[in-house]
Structure 1
Amino acid sequence: MRRIAIVGSGGSGKSTFAKKLSNQINIDLYHLDSLLWLPGWVPVTKEQQVAIQQRIVKEDTWIVDGNYNSTLDIRLNEADTIIFLDISRFVCLYRILKRYVLNRNRDREDMAGGCPEQLSWQFLKWIFHYPENKRPHLLKKLQVHSLNKEVIILKSRRDVERFLRHVS
């Protein structure tokens, strides 16, 4: 594992998992949320998204966490390991609500500065419908990529903890 893409629904724990994994195996971590947003929740252009990710994946080692489906292939094509946090929608919704309550109006370390924690019905609906709307498409991509790289699907907090205990 030298080039790792971490994907999953909002609230699945991608950033927390990525940080723990990065610390354990000493590989640089890139949170897409911190790279693809400007202060005030202004997104960088699509061209900038592509350029930023193309620069990262040229490095010898990296961990990138985030979805951004329109540029997902950039990461999946160059990763040697893809980790999908396939966590229950109800756990994800709980975590998002908890995160909002705990961090309301504060910046998170895995987000760009000037982007305080926020919550919207649109985001909650996206998480709730992720298993039907996004997961099948992602699983198809993972099946294609599993031919030439390691694909790991973690379905629970217990799976995540077990994986982190055994990785070095």
Structure 2
Amino acid sequence: MKIAILGYSGSGKSTLAAYLGKQYGISYLHLDQVQFTDNWQTRPETVAKEIVEDFMGKPDWIIDGNYTRYYQAERLKQADQIVLLLFSRYAALWRIFKRTVRYHGKSRPDMAANSPEHFSWEFFWWIIWKGRTSNVRKHYQTIQNQYPQKVIVIKNQQQLNAFYRRPKNSD
């Protein structure tokens, strides 16, 4: 089984990937860990692409994150299931606030080592505006239109909770 998880920042992509990985016994890859190395340094793109390409060579995988440059089109095509987490900007902001409080000064499990959680106004602006432009929204709609048989859209916590509760064999 191959699962691609995409969506807005703060919607729970990495948490869902880890959960599904444990449920199905499948390796998962957080693209934020590919993008960033220690202390929020950006990994060279050729190295990052190689990591993703190698991971996609596995018979089963779960990959969370958007990053179009990391073979997003190929990930979507190969995926048996695509989960789009499209929480409202305010719900995502609240989730990120809770995440920041929980991990403040520590590295999250889905991030590179020595990359302590922090919050910036630039990230706030990304959550509220830049990460939700009409082009981004159109991109998610295009994915839904292109792969209607394998896309699951989750827009709020109640839907996410229901997704977590569904039987393991309901795929």
TM-score with structure 1 length normalisation? Answer: 0.90
The count of aligned residue pairs is 165
| 8 Å CA contact 1:89, 1:128 repeated in 2 | yes
Pairing 1:45–2:47 present: no
Identity of aligned residues (%): 35
Structure 2: gaps (5+ residues): none
Shift of residue 167 of structure 1? 3.8
Cross-structure match for 1:77: 77
Q: Which amino acid aligns with 2:18?
A: K
| 8 Å CA contact 1:6, 1:14 repeated in 2 | yes
Shift of residue 30 of structure 1? 1.2
| 8 Å CA contact 1:53, 1:75 repeated in 2 | no
- SS of residue in 2 equivalent to 1:70: coil
Cα distance 1:167–1:52, how it changes in 2: closer, same or farther (>3 A)?
farther
Map 1:16-165; keep pairs closer than 5 Å. Answer: 16-71=15-70, 72-129=72-129, 130-133=131-134, 134-146=136-148, 150-165=150-165
TM-score with structure 2 length normalisation? Answer: 0.88
- SS of residue in 2 equivalent to 1:6: strand
- SS of residue in 1 equivalent to 2:123: helix
84-93 vs 156-165, greater mean Cα deviation: 156-165
Structure 1: gaps (5+ residues): none
135-144 vs 12-21, greater mean Cα deviation: 135-144
Q: How many angstroms apart in 1 are the aligned matches of 2:163 and 2:3?
A: 14
| 8 Å CA contact 1:54, 1:74 repeated in 2 | no
